[in-house]
Protein backbone atom coordinates (compact mmCIF):
# COMPACT_ATOMS: atom_id res chain seq x y z
CA UNK A 1 0.00 0.00 0.00
CA UNK A 2 0.91 3.67 0.00
CA UNK A 3 0.80 6.25 2.80
CA UNK A 4 -2.83 7.38 2.87
CA UNK A 5 -4.68 10.44 4.04
CA UNK A 6 -6.38 9.95 7.39
CA UNK A 7 -9.60 11.55 6.12
CA UNK A 8 -11.35 8.42 4.87
CA UNK A 9 -10.04 6.39 7.84
CA UNK A 10 -11.75 8.79 10.24
CA UNK A 11 -14.93 9.13 8.19
CA UNK A 12 -15.29 5.34 8.14
CA UNK A 13 -14.75 5.26 11.91
CA UNK A 14 -17.33 8.01 12.37
CA UNK A 15 -19.90 6.09 10.33
CA UNK A 16 -19.28 2.75 12.03
CA UNK A 17 -18.84 3.88 15.63
CA UNK A 18 -15.21 3.05 16.39
CA UNK A 19 -11.97 5.06 16.61
CA UNK A 20 -8.68 4.88 14.73
CA UNK A 21 -5.72 4.67 17.13
CA UNK A 22 -2.94 7.19 16.51
CA UNK A 23 0.42 6.22 18.00
CA UNK A 24 3.24 8.70 18.44
CA UNK A 25 6.28 7.02 16.91
CA UNK A 26 9.92 8.06 17.37
CA UNK A 27 12.20 5.78 15.35
CA UNK A 28 12.38 2.70 13.14
CA UNK A 29 11.53 0.33 15.98
CA UNK A 30 8.34 2.10 17.02
CA UNK A 31 7.17 2.26 13.39
CA UNK A 32 7.87 -1.45 12.92
CA UNK A 33 5.95 -2.41 16.04
CA UNK A 34 2.85 -0.33 15.33
CA UNK A 35 2.64 -1.49 11.71
CA UNK A 36 3.20 -5.15 12.59
CA UNK A 37 0.55 -5.06 15.31
CA UNK A 38 -1.93 -3.24 13.06
CA UNK A 39 -1.47 -5.87 10.36
CA UNK A 40 -1.91 -8.72 12.82
CA UNK A 41 -5.10 -7.09 14.13
CA UNK A 42 -6.27 -5.94 10.66
CA UNK A 43 -6.69 -2.41 11.97
CA UNK A 44 -6.23 0.91 10.21
CA UNK A 45 -3.64 2.97 12.05
CA UNK A 46 -2.19 6.46 12.22
CA UNK A 47 1.52 7.00 12.88
CA UNK A 48 2.01 10.42 14.45
CA UNK A 49 5.18 12.47 14.78
CA UNK A 50 5.62 15.59 16.89
CA UNK A 51 8.07 18.36 15.96
CA UNK A 52 10.51 16.86 18.47
CA UNK A 53 10.37 13.51 16.71
CA UNK A 54 10.87 15.11 13.31
CA UNK A 55 13.91 16.96 14.68
CA UNK A 56 15.28 13.81 16.30
CA UNK A 57 14.82 11.43 13.37
CA UNK A 58 15.04 13.83 10.43
CA UNK A 59 11.96 14.38 8.27
CA UNK A 60 13.33 12.70 5.14
CA UNK A 61 14.51 9.65 7.08
CA UNK A 62 11.16 9.42 8.85
CA UNK A 63 8.97 9.84 5.80
CA UNK A 64 10.96 7.25 3.88
CA UNK A 65 10.64 4.81 6.79
CA UNK A 66 6.88 5.41 6.60
CA UNK A 67 6.85 4.80 2.87
CA UNK A 68 8.74 1.52 3.32
CA UNK A 69 6.34 0.45 6.08
CA UNK A 70 3.29 1.31 3.99
CA UNK A 71 4.68 -0.61 1.00
CA UNK A 72 4.77 -3.89 2.91
CA UNK A 73 1.63 -3.26 4.96
CA UNK A 74 -1.70 -4.87 4.14
CA UNK A 75 -3.64 -2.32 6.19
CA UNK A 76 -3.92 1.42 5.51
CA UNK A 77 -1.32 3.59 7.23
CA UNK A 78 -1.56 7.35 7.64
CA UNK A 79 1.50 9.40 8.60
CA UNK A 80 0.38 12.36 10.68
CA UNK A 81 2.19 15.48 11.88
CA UNK A 82 1.10 15.94 15.48
CA UNK A 83 1.00 19.33 17.29
CA UNK A 84 2.99 21.23 14.70
CA UNK A 85 2.89 25.00 15.07
CA UNK A 86 5.24 26.16 12.30
CA UNK A 87 3.31 26.57 9.04
CA UNK A 88 6.41 26.41 6.84
CA UNK A 89 7.53 23.15 8.50
CA UNK A 90 4.11 21.67 7.77
CA UNK A 91 4.20 22.78 4.13
CA UNK A 92 7.67 21.29 3.66
CA UNK A 93 6.58 17.96 5.15
CA UNK A 94 3.54 17.89 2.85
CA UNK A 95 5.81 18.35 -0.17
CA UNK A 96 7.94 15.45 1.10
CA UNK A 97 4.90 13.17 1.29
CA UNK A 98 3.05 13.68 4.58
CA UNK A 99 -0.68 13.11 3.96
CA UNK A 100 -2.14 14.14 7.32
CA UNK A 101 -1.19 17.17 9.44
CA UNK A 102 -2.20 18.92 12.62
CA UNK A 103 -1.71 22.65 12.82
CA UNK A 104 -1.86 23.59 16.49
CA UNK A 105 -2.63 27.30 16.86
CA UNK A 106 -4.75 26.76 19.97
CA UNK A 107 -2.54 29.07 22.06
CA UNK A 108 -3.40 32.03 19.81
CA UNK A 109 -6.44 34.30 20.10
CA UNK A 110 -9.49 32.83 18.37
CA UNK A 111 -9.36 34.85 15.14
CA UNK A 112 -5.61 34.30 14.79
CA UNK A 113 -6.13 30.58 15.33
CA UNK A 114 -8.67 30.54 12.49
CA UNK A 115 -6.40 32.53 10.17
CA UNK A 116 -3.36 30.31 10.74
CA UNK A 117 -5.35 27.10 10.37
CA UNK A 118 -7.02 28.35 7.21
CA UNK A 119 -3.60 29.04 5.66
CA UNK A 120 -2.58 25.42 6.20
CA UNK A 121 -5.94 24.08 4.96
CA UNK A 122 -5.71 26.03 1.70
CA UNK A 123 -2.21 24.69 1.04
CA UNK A 124 -2.99 21.12 2.12
CA UNK A 125 -6.05 20.77 -0.10
CA UNK A 126 -3.86 21.17 -3.19
CA UNK A 127 -2.14 17.91 -2.26
CA UNK A 128 -5.15 15.97 -0.91
CA UNK A 129 -3.79 16.23 2.64
CA UNK A 130 -6.02 15.97 5.71
CA UNK A 131 -5.86 18.77 8.27
CA UNK A 132 -6.59 18.52 12.00
CA UNK A 133 -6.72 21.52 14.32
CA UNK A 134 -7.40 22.08 18.01
CA UNK A 135 -9.85 24.37 19.77
CA UNK A 136 -9.19 24.72 23.48
CA UNK A 137 -6.01 23.80 25.37
CA UNK A 138 -4.98 20.54 27.02
CA UNK A 139 -3.00 20.85 30.23
CA UNK A 140 0.35 19.05 30.30
CA UNK A 141 3.40 18.74 28.06
CA UNK A 142 3.79 17.55 24.47
CA UNK A 143 7.44 17.93 23.43
CA UNK A 144 8.33 21.56 24.22
CA UNK A 145 4.68 22.64 24.27
CA UNK A 146 3.71 23.14 27.93
CA UNK A 147 0.27 24.23 29.14
CA UNK A 148 -0.01 24.90 32.86
CA UNK A 149 -3.14 23.77 34.67
CA UNK A 150 -4.44 27.32 35.10
CA UNK A 151 -4.08 27.98 31.37
CA UNK A 152 -6.12 25.00 30.15
CA UNK A 153 -9.34 25.76 28.29
CA UNK A 154 -12.17 23.40 27.41
CA UNK A 155 -13.65 23.51 23.92
CA UNK A 156 -16.72 25.71 23.56
CA UNK A 157 -19.38 23.78 21.56
CA UNK A 158 -20.76 26.88 19.81
CA UNK A 159 -17.29 28.11 18.88
CA UNK A 160 -16.45 24.61 17.65
CA UNK A 161 -19.18 24.84 15.01
CA UNK A 162 -17.98 28.25 13.86
CA UNK A 163 -14.34 27.14 13.91
CA UNK A 164 -14.94 24.07 11.74
CA UNK A 165 -17.05 25.98 9.22
CA UNK A 166 -14.62 28.89 8.85
CA UNK A 167 -11.39 26.88 8.70
CA UNK A 168 -12.52 23.95 6.55
CA UNK A 169 -10.60 21.42 8.67
CA UNK A 170 -11.16 17.68 8.30
CA UNK A 171 -11.03 16.78 12.00
CA UNK A 172 -11.22 18.64 15.30
CA UNK A 173 -9.17 17.94 18.44
CA UNK A 174 -11.31 18.77 21.46
CA UNK A 175 -10.36 19.70 25.01
CA UNK A 176 -12.81 17.93 27.33
CA UNK A 177 -10.66 17.23 30.38
CA UNK A 178 -7.82 15.04 29.14
CA UNK A 179 -4.16 16.05 29.43
CA UNK A 180 -0.83 15.24 27.83
CA UNK A 181 1.36 12.88 29.84
CA UNK A 182 0.33 10.85 32.89
CA UNK A 183 -2.35 11.84 35.38
CA UNK A 184 -1.90 12.60 39.08
CA UNK A 185 -5.51 11.49 39.64
CA UNK A 186 -8.28 10.08 37.45
CA UNK A 187 -9.19 12.67 34.79
CA UNK A 188 -12.63 14.25 34.95
CA UNK A 189 -14.01 14.08 31.43
CA UNK A 190 -16.80 16.46 30.43
CA UNK A 191 -19.00 14.00 28.54
CA UNK A 192 -21.85 16.48 28.29
CA UNK A 193 -19.57 18.95 26.53
CA UNK A 194 -18.44 16.23 24.11
CA UNK A 195 -22.07 15.39 23.30
CA UNK A 196 -22.82 19.04 22.55
CA UNK A 197 -19.78 19.38 20.30
CA UNK A 198 -20.64 16.20 18.40
CA UNK A 199 -24.15 17.49 17.70
CA UNK A 200 -22.87 20.82 16.37
CA UNK A 201 -20.03 19.74 14.06
CA UNK A 202 -19.96 17.14 11.32
CA UNK A 203 -16.22 16.40 11.12
CA UNK A 204 -14.60 13.53 13.07
CA UNK A 205 -13.53 14.41 16.61
CA UNK A 206 -10.11 13.65 18.09
CA UNK A 207 -9.15 12.80 21.69
CA UNK A 208 -5.66 13.92 22.66
CA UNK A 209 -4.03 12.90 25.93
CA UNK A 210 -5.54 9.40 25.99
CA UNK A 211 -2.55 7.76 27.67
CA UNK A 212 -3.41 6.67 31.21
CA UNK A 213 -7.14 7.41 30.76
CA UNK A 214 -9.28 4.50 32.09
CA UNK A 215 -10.50 2.17 29.34
CA UNK A 216 -14.17 2.67 30.18
CA UNK A 217 -13.73 6.42 29.87
CA UNK A 218 -12.13 6.10 26.44
CA UNK A 219 -14.90 3.73 25.31
CA UNK A 220 -17.57 6.19 26.39
CA UNK A 221 -15.80 9.00 24.50
CA UNK A 222 -15.84 6.83 21.37
CA UNK A 223 -19.54 6.13 21.88
CA UNK A 224 -20.11 9.91 22.06
CA UNK A 225 -18.32 10.65 18.80
CA UNK A 226 -14.53 10.42 19.20
CA UNK A 227 -13.08 8.92 16.00
CA UNK A 228 -9.33 9.19 16.67
CA UNK A 229 -7.55 8.39 19.91
CA UNK A 230 -3.98 9.60 20.45
CA UNK A 231 -1.53 7.44 22.42
CA UNK A 232 1.97 8.74 23.13
CA UNK A 233 3.30 8.50 26.69
CA UNK A 234 2.19 4.91 27.29
CA UNK A 235 4.05 3.73 24.20
CA UNK A 236 7.28 5.35 25.42
CA UNK A 237 6.85 3.80 28.86
CA UNK A 238 6.30 0.33 27.41
CA UNK A 239 9.39 0.62 25.20
CA UNK A 240 11.67 1.87 27.95
CA UNK A 241 10.38 -0.56 30.59
CA UNK A 242 11.10 -3.56 28.36
CA UNK A 243 14.64 -2.34 27.72
CA UNK A 244 15.26 -1.52 31.40
CA UNK A 245 14.19 -5.00 32.45
CA UNK A 246 16.54 -6.55 29.89
CA UNK A 247 19.48 -4.55 31.26
CA UNK A 248 18.51 -5.48 34.83
CA UNK A 249 18.90 -9.12 33.82
CA UNK A 250 21.81 -8.55 31.43
CA UNK A 251 23.89 -5.64 32.83
CA UNK A 252 26.81 -6.31 30.46
CA UNK A 253 24.65 -6.26 27.31
CA UNK A 254 25.65 -3.91 24.50
CA UNK A 255 23.97 -5.21 21.34
CA UNK A 256 20.92 -3.10 20.35
CA UNK A 257 19.71 -5.97 18.17
CA UNK A 258 19.12 -7.85 21.41
CA UNK A 259 18.20 -5.25 24.03
CA UNK A 260 15.65 -3.48 21.79
CA UNK A 261 13.63 -6.68 21.26
CA UNK A 262 12.02 -6.78 24.74
CA UNK A 263 11.15 -3.09 24.35
CA UNK A 264 9.47 -3.84 21.03
CA UNK A 265 7.61 -6.80 22.55
CA UNK A 266 6.21 -4.59 25.34
CA UNK A 267 5.15 -1.97 22.82
CA UNK A 268 3.37 -4.53 20.66
CA UNK A 269 1.36 -5.76 23.65
CA UNK A 270 0.27 -2.17 24.32
CA UNK A 271 -0.56 -1.40 20.68
CA UNK A 272 -2.78 -4.46 20.43
CA UNK A 273 -4.60 -3.52 23.65
CA UNK A 274 -5.25 -0.03 22.34
CA UNK A 275 -6.54 -1.36 19.01
CA UNK A 276 -9.03 -3.51 20.91
CA UNK A 277 -9.93 -0.51 23.08
CA UNK A 278 -10.69 1.55 19.96
CA UNK A 279 -12.59 -1.42 18.47
CA UNK A 280 -10.71 -0.90 15.21
CA UNK A 281 -9.66 -4.54 14.80
CA UNK A 282 -10.85 -6.15 11.54
CA UNK A 283 -11.87 -2.71 10.22
CA UNK A 284 -9.04 -2.35 7.67
pLDDT in tens, 207-263: 998 777 899 999 999 999 999 999 999 999 999 999 999 999 999 999 999 999 999
Answer yes or no: is 80 a known binding residue. no
**Within a domain: 175:** yes
**Within a domain: 167:** yes
**Within a domain: 143:** yes
Domain residues for the domain of 46 are: 6-235+267-278
Rounded alpha-carbon distances, angstroms, from residue 54 to 50, 61, 244: 6, 9, 25
User: Which CATH number do you get for residue 186?
Assistant: 3.20.20.70
**Within a domain: 260:** no
**Within a domain: 145:** yes
Q: Give 56-62's long-range contacts (Cβ < 8 A, gap of 24+).
A: 56/26, 56/27, 57/26, 57/27, 59/92, 59/93, 59/96, 60/96
Given the DSSP bridges, would you call strands 171-174 and 205-207 parallel, antiparallel or unpaired?
Answer: parallel
**Within a domain: 154:** yes
* pLDDT band at residue 180 using 50, 70 and 90 as cut-offs: low
What 8-state DSSP symbol labels residue 83? Answer: E
Average pLDDT of the chain, as a whole number = 91
Answer yes or no: is 190 a known binding residue. no
Q: Give 87-94's long-range contacts (Cβ < 8 A, gap of 24+).
A: 87/116, 87/119, 87/120, 89/51, 89/54, 90/120, 90/123, 90/124, 91/120, 91/123, 92/59, 93/54, 93/59, 93/63, 94/123, 94/124, 94/127, 94/129
Answer yes or no: is 171 a known binding residue. no
Distance CA 155, CA 109 (A): 14
Answer yes or no: is 26 a known binding residue. no
Q: How many domains does the chain have?
A: 1
pLDDT at 30: 97
Highest mean pLDDT among 81-95, 97-111, 267-281: 267-281
Which of 82, 143, 156, 170 is catalytic? The answer is 82
What 8-state DSSP symbol labels residue 140? Answer: E
Answer yes or no: is 30 a known binding residue. no
Answer yes or no: is 83 a known binding residue. yes
Answer yes or no: is 170 a known binding residue. no
pTM of structure: 0.90
- Cα dihedral: 22, 26, 27, 31 (round 10): -10
* 82 annotated active-site: yes
**Within a domain: 240:** no
**Within a domain: 46:** yes
Tens of pLDDT, residues 79-100:
999 999 999 999 999 998 889 9
Tens of pLDDT, residues 35-72:
999 999 999 999 999 999 999 999 889 989 999 999 99
Amino acid sequence: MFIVSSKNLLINAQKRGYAVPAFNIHNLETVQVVVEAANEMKSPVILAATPGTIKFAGEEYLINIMKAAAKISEVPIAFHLDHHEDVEDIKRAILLGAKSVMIDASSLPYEENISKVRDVVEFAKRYDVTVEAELGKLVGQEDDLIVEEGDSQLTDPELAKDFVERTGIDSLAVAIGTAHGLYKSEPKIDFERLEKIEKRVNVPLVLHGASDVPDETVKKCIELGICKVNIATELKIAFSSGIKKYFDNNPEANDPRKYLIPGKDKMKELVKRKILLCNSQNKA
